[in-house]
Amino acid sequence: MARWIAISFAISFASLAGRASECQTLTPAQRADLATWYRTASRRAPGDWGIAIANQRGELLWSVEPGTSLVPASTVKLFTTGFARTVLGGAARRSTRVVGSGFIDPLSGEWMGTWALELNGDPSLENPSGAGPRLVDLAEQLAQLGIRRLSGPLQVRSANGPALATYPTAWSHRHWGRLFAPLIGALTIHENVVYFTIQPGPRVGRPPELIAAAPEGVDALVIMRARTVSGRRSRLSLTPSGNGGWVVNGTIGVSARPRGFSAVASDPKAVLARAWASALRHVGLEWNETPHSSSILPGPIMTTLAEVTSPVLDSVASEVNRRSLNLGAELLLRWAAGDQGPELMTEHVRSVAGVADGLHLVDGSGLSNDDRASPLTFVNYLAKIPTTPGGRNFPLLLPANGVGTLRHLHGGLGQGVVRAKTGTLGQVSNVTGYLGRPDGVLIVSLMYNGGRPSTARLLQWKLFQLLGADGAAIPEDILTPDAQLGGSDASAVTAPADSSR
């Protein structure tokens, strides 16, 4: 896995803290430029603006309505990753296991007894980039134990009981089932989305061919009802079927290019079953899925037969922020606090930021329009979280300018000048994070709720470029090789778009 170049913010805070309080400021010319910028922004993107620019201690240097509570969208993930890291530690990992009660038949190699897959909401399991733990790794461990055959239908559980996946009640129903809003829960595989690639059949009249599917094995859930026709045009459609799978209808020209499709898994257990069957076949294990007497033995004690773990929490959190992955953020929050996640996270933010008013959090991703926070809360939190034991080097969890959701923030800025998180919904455009300058690190929170979020985002980029024209790269350090789930940004695969970026 590629090394991740990341900031060592504890070092930068320690080295700059003394002079920051004395000389970190904005010049009269910069203040005039900011006033001009805001007049333009409020005219071109009318709506509710909240702006706070502070030094690295959180002391305001320039602001517009900094205490106004606005919809934060995905900037909530700043709180989520900070809270999870504080509770669990940056080195925490999530396990996925095969558990069982029984023994191996020495003659046939069949597992005689009960067995189940234990899933615990690891967002990296069968990660689309291929960087997370895989089911085939579990299957290989079973083979190494001498198991050659499993019998009985798939049983799925979690360490705390049933393994489920549901839509968060805080999310609007209109988001449910979209690529950025899949089912959330312990039962998570391949981020609970699937990908297919379909090409024309070899000649007119033949069915199209499914040439790639992810996760592996999910092609067994696809029913092909389309046909190949003459020409180059493609009119294929992918619709859900009643068994947790999909039906391909329509036509595709014999000379057409392959078509890619993506969809949310409506039944993650069905996807898991087909992916598990594929993993077992890959290592030569036979699975008889019909009920079998040997799979019903007394004794509730389950031992671990195989186990894989996620990358460390810091890696998962950095991926969540880089891609603005809603599923990952919700799973981090549940990992840290279970069903009380939003309430406990709110208490954490109030405690760290020292701001009690105007904060209301109902989810971990920011996909809910019921979330509220102010720029003042954000800058105070970002100033103070790196000084806490659980927040050391916290800013390294945020993408740098030119990377991930900050990929468009590059013109006029040196590499690593900004570490920030964006937030985007239908009428929301926010950017909050750190900006390196020769005299220290500025903390900037730009929040806009209104009818022109795209225009507001362009203007927000301009403000960062204005303040960072003479910016200094935030000090970098080399971390461990697995510091970022999925390796370097260049090697990462394209992920589902996130409506709450």
Is 124 a member of any domain? yes
Q: Which domain holds residue 20?
A: 7-91+312-484
To which residue do tokens 């999870």 refer? 84
pTM to 2 decimal places: 0.90
Is 2 a member of any domain? no
Give me the amino acid identity at 463.
L
CA 36 to chain centre: 36
Q: Which residue, among 424, 389, 409, has the nearest Cα to 76 in the 3D structure? A: 424
216 and 231 together in one domain: yes
Distance CA 316, CA 132 (A): 10
8 A C-beta contact, residue 306 and residue 285: no
Is 493 a member of any domain? no
Q: What is the pLDDT of residue 243?
A: 87
Kindly tell me the sign of the dihedral angle through the C-alpha atoms of 493, 369, 458, 83.
negative
* The two structure tokens encoding residue 28: 């009269």
Q: What is the pLDDT of residue 474?
A: 60
Kindly tell me the sign of the dihedral angle through the C-alpha atoms of 360, 365, 369, 374.
positive
Q: What is the pLDDT of residue 23?
A: 63
Sheet holding 60-64, edge to edge: 60-64, 47-54, 440-450, 428-437, 418-425
Q: What is the pLDDT of residue 412?
A: 77
118 and 162 together in one domain: yes
CATH number, domain with residue 446: 3.40.710.10
Ranges of the chain with pLDDT below 70: 1-23, 292-301, 471-501
Q: What is the pLDDT of residue 89?
A: 97
> What total of structural domains would you count in the chain?
3
Is 369 a member of any domain? yes
Q: What is the pLDDT of residue 438?
A: 87
Distance CA 393, CA 360 (A): 26
259 and 400 together in one domain: no
Distance between the two ends of the chain, CA-based, in angstroms? 26
226 and 292 together in one domain: no
198 and 337 together in one domain: no
Quick check: helix, strand or coil at residue 12? Answer: helix
Extended beta strands in 123-233, E state: 149-151, 156-158, 161-162, 193-199, 209-214, 222-224, 227-229
* The two structure tokens encoding residue 170: 């805080």
Provide DSSP, 53-81: EE-TT--EEEEESTT--B--GGGHHHHHH
Boundary-marking domain end, from 245, 264, 283:
264
51 and 182 together in one domain: no
Is 100 a member of any domain? yes
Instruction: Write a three-state SS string for 283-343.
Output: CCCEEECCCCHHHCCCCCCCEEEEEEECCCHHHHHHHHHHHCCHHHHHHHHHHHHHHHHHH
435 and 342 together in one domain: yes
Residues forming beta bridges with residue 443, ordered by sequence position: 54, 434
114 and 184 together in one domain: yes
158 and 290 together in one domain: yes
8 A C-beta contact, residue 194 and residue 218: yes
Kindly tell me the sign of the dihedral angle through the C-alpha atoms of 381, 385, 386, 391.
negative
8 A C-beta contact, residue 168 and residue 361: no
